Amino acid sequence: MELYAGIAQFPDWLPDETVYSWASRFHTLAGHRLPSQTSQVVFGGARRGAQHDLPTGLAAFAERTRGRLGSAQEIALTRTVLGYYLAARTESESSLALAALSGSTAQGLKFRLGMLTSRFRANHPLKACPSCMAEDKQAYGVSYWHLTHQYPGTWICLRHCAPLLAASIKSNGVARFGWILPEAAGLQAPLTGEVQASSLARFANLVQGWTLLPAGSLSVQSIAAICRRQLSRSGTMGRTTSRMLLAEAYANSLAPLRAVPELAALPATTRAAQMELDRWLFAPRGNTHPLRLLALIGWLFAD
């Protein structure tokens, strides 16, 4: 650590950069041969911080960068995908999640956040926009990972209105603890066939708005109440409108999104949609993956 004791040895954040991207840049700048060297220097452990979505060791990261890059909590909420999962979580759940990323292990965190039981993917593929990569290379001399591209449900770069590419490295277990920047990540186009870019862009906008919400600012009960009021206000939930018809309309509205593998778990049949509406609209309990709540909101609200 003595070699990097001076603050000047550490690079600054690039705009919209993830902590994993920052560490990948530092790994290259430091000339480290092994990924564990960077993990040890920056995060205080041979394998800490290498999780590209929910990295651990952020307290050590904040300490070793002398607070110049933010506190552990600030980094967790603004440089990882964690904030995406906390908007509809309780204060105690948020505190536990923040403590997990600050410490040495996040064991059980994905289960507590509902990822492992949601039927959506628990791993978050690294994603990048080729146009952003080219612009970043010209402006900063390096392409890097943008946080706004990494959130579940975001498959369109809103800046360039272009589909995102997904990294094959790390998602397939290769370089699991490695530090990889976009140009070396084996980027591929995961979206095949006809994809409605407008539907994906609208959903990406919805995700972006969701990520701006403070932790604990919503609950599934409040979301359900707002959605029910919107149904009544629009006349969709009239006396003669059966829940079966509502479910059919809901399933049909999700068809463009289900073309994305990550979103394939959204209801595809009237029966599945009815079960979803009964659970999260008419009788909400517990908690769920934000993608289910965002799908409901996107169905009922124009913006």
pLDDT digits (tens, 9 = 90+) for 253-272: 999 999 888 999 999 999 99
- Return d(Cα 19, Cα 188) in angstroms, integer: 23
User: Quick check: 257 and 292 in contact, CB under 8 A?
Assistant: no
- Return d(Cα 256, Cα 180) in angstroms, integer: 32
Token code pair at residue 209: 């708005």
Identify the DSSP state of 108. T
Mean pLDDT of the 91-116 span: 88
Residue 73 pairs in a beta bridge with: none
Token code pair at residue 194: 């006809």
Q: How far is CA 131 from CA 163, 189, 204, in A?
A: 10, 14, 17
Per-residue pLDDT at 115: 84
CB atoms within 10 A of CB 229: 12
Q: Is the pLDDT of residue 4 over 60?
A: no
Strand 162-163 to strand 156-157: parallel, antiparallel, or no bridges (unpaired)? antiparallel
Per-residue pLDDT at 19: 98
> What pTM was computed for the model?
0.91
Domains of the chain by residue range:
9-112, 219-300
**Mean of all residue pLDDT scores within the chain:** 89
- Return d(Cα 226, Cα 236) in angstroms, integer: 14
| Candidate from 31-45, 81-95, 113-127, 265-279 with smallest mean pLDDT | 113-127
* Neighbouring C-alpha atoms within 13 Å toward the C-beta of 87: 18
Span between the terminal Cα atoms of the chain, in Å: 49
